[in-house]
Amino acid sequence: MRLYVPYTDECEAEEVAKVLSTGYLSQGPKVAEFEQTIARLVGSRYAFATSSCTTALHLSLVALGIAAGDEVLVPDLTFPASANVVIQQKARPVLVDVRLDTYTVDASDLEARVTRKTRAIMPVHAFGLSADMDAVMHIARRQQLIVIEDAACALAARYHQAACGTIGDVGCFSFHPRKCITTGEGGMIVTNNEALAERIGLLRSHGGVRGQAYYQFEAAGFNYRMSDLQAAVGVAQMRKLDWIIARKRQLALELSEMLTGVDGVSPPVEPEGCLHTFQSYVLMLDRALDRDKVIGAMRRRGVETTLGTYALHAQPFFQRTYGYAPGDLPNSYEVFRRSLTLPLHPRMTLDDLLRVVLALRESLEEVA
């Protein structure tokens, strides 16, 4: 059983065929349509499709002026792309511990790591659950810091009625195949800041401004565009989004109920006021259990699982470059070692969930 299978049907093929028939394959009208659809969903004034969420994050940092000597506060528990884009700007990612219950940034540790060099905070909405954005924004306003939301996993997630990605200065989404909707690869930047939007639009496509006959290049920009072929898939996927989110939430609730009597596991939580999209269903194993052995035991039973995500401070590059040692950020390190992602995708049935739970029970008994 696969960890995730994107929900696609003939609608995606039909939209791609329309684009192919036009001969307009690069960034064009279908990208604009996809951008408008995302902007309407989250309630932002501007949306810019990009080639990935990583390029969306990098483009945001460039447009916001993050540069050498700056520090950006990044949750330690995240995919390395969150910190890599900071490093690409020759700035320093300052890693921050997370909460054990939500896997999102710990506000007390966040505030403790602010220095005179700090320019920005990059909260990560982990696995489709919003960070505590009231706390993040309170610190940002008091310290006059930029907020870049890494909402890669959180399209349609909400925090007290606000759409994730629209609370800070800028938000970035991913359309990787493991996300709730996909364009194969792809990302999106959303913002309500007009000046920032103009800068992002300029930098996304080589820094060029179209004149009557040709471009003039006003900046050393990037080729971070999305193709109309990818956007066609995204347009079709967006028609399914409400159903996909509702289905995943229903499955997650049923899975959590099934796990109630399973010793050694703690299912994910949804704090009051948040809407969790369950981009991934990530639980915690008891400390006495070897998570990696559980992954192997599940694989032998035909069920694909994986870790939640990475504690960056425990990765070789961050240890060599910044002097971290495993365990320096203790909560993040625990989640890195103990978290387990179970299969959860819209095509799953009740029988599939029962199979996952049975395999987990047997695997826990095997490795105990």
Q: Helix/strand/coil (H, E, C) string of the chain?
A: CCCCCCCCCHHHHHHHHHHHHHCCCCCCHHHHHHHHHHHHHHCCCEEEEECCHHHHHHHHHHHCCCCCCCEEEEECECCCHHHHHHHHCCCEEEEECECCCCCCECHHHHHHCCCCCEEEECCECHHHCCCCHHHHHHHHHHHCCEEEEECCCCCCCEECCEECCCCCCEEEEECCCCCCCCCCCCEEEEECCHHHHHHHHHHHECCEEECCCCEEECCCCCECCCCHHHHHHHHHHHCCHHHHHHHHHHHHHHHHHHCCCCCCEECCCCCCCEECCCCCEEEEECCCCCHHHHHHHHHHCCCCCECCCCEHHHCHHHHHHHCCCCCCCHHHHHHHHHEEEECCCCCCCHHHHHHHHHHHHHHHHHHC
CA nearest neighbour of 340 among 82, 2, 3: 3
Q: pLDDT category, 24, cuts 50, 70, 90?
A: confident
Cα R_g (the chain), whole angstroms: 21
* pLDDT tens digit sequence for 313-324: 999 999 999 999
Partnered with residue 275 across adjacent β-strands are 158
Mean pLDDT over 260-285 rounds to 97
β pairing state of 146-150 and 170-174: parallel
Q: Looking at the annotation, which residues are catalytic? A: 179
pLDDT given for residue 23 in this prediction = 87
Mean pLDDT over 166-187 rounds to 98
pLDDT given for residue 250 in this prediction = 98
Exposure b/e, 301-336, CB count within 10 A at least 16 = b: bebebbbbbbbbbbbeebeeebebeeebbebbbbbb
pLDDT given for residue 210 in this prediction = 85
pLDDT given for residue 212 in this prediction = 84
pLDDT given for residue 211 in this prediction = 85
Q: Confirm if 283 and 268 have CB atoms less than 8 A apart.
A: yes
* pLDDT tens digit sequence for 206-243: 999 988 889 899 999 999 999 999 999 999 999 999 99
Q: Confirm if 56 and 270 have CB atoms less than 8 A apart.
A: no
pLDDT given for residue 343 in this prediction = 98
Residue 19 has pLDDT above 90, yes or no: yes
* pLDDT tens digit sequence for 141-174: 999 999 999 999 999 999 999 999 999 999 999 9
Report percent pLDDT > 90 for the chain: 97
Cβ-proximal residues to 223 (8 Å cutoff; 6+ apart), any chain: 51, 205, 206
Cβ-proximal residues to 28 (8 Å cutoff; 6+ apart), any chain: 228
Token pair 């966040």 is found at 110
pLDDT given for residue 17 in this prediction = 96
CATH of 241-367, one of 3.40.50.1110, 3.40.1190.20, 3.90.1150.10, 3.40.50.2300: 3.90.1150.10
Report percent pLDDT > 70 for the chain: 100
Residue 244 has pLDDT above 90, yes or no: yes
Mean pLDDT over 329-336 rounds to 98
Interhelix angle 29-42/228-238, nearest 10 degrees: 40
CA separation, residue 148 to residues 22, 124, 241, 257 (Å): 36, 9, 24, 35
CA 200 centroid distance within chain = 20
Residue 63 has pLDDT above 90, yes or no: yes
* Mean per-residue pLDDT over the chain, rounded: 97
Question: Is 3.40.50.740 the CATH number for 10-238?
Answer: no
Residue 72 has pLDDT above 90, yes or no: yes
Residue 36 has pLDDT above 90, yes or no: yes
Give the start-to-end residue ranges of the domains of the chain: 10-238, 241-367
pTM, 2 dp: 0.97
Angle at alpha carbon of residue 59, lines to 57 and 64, rounded to 5°: 95
Token pair 């506060």 is found at 73
If one counts every other C-beta atom within 10 angstroms of the C-beta of residue 208, the result is: 16
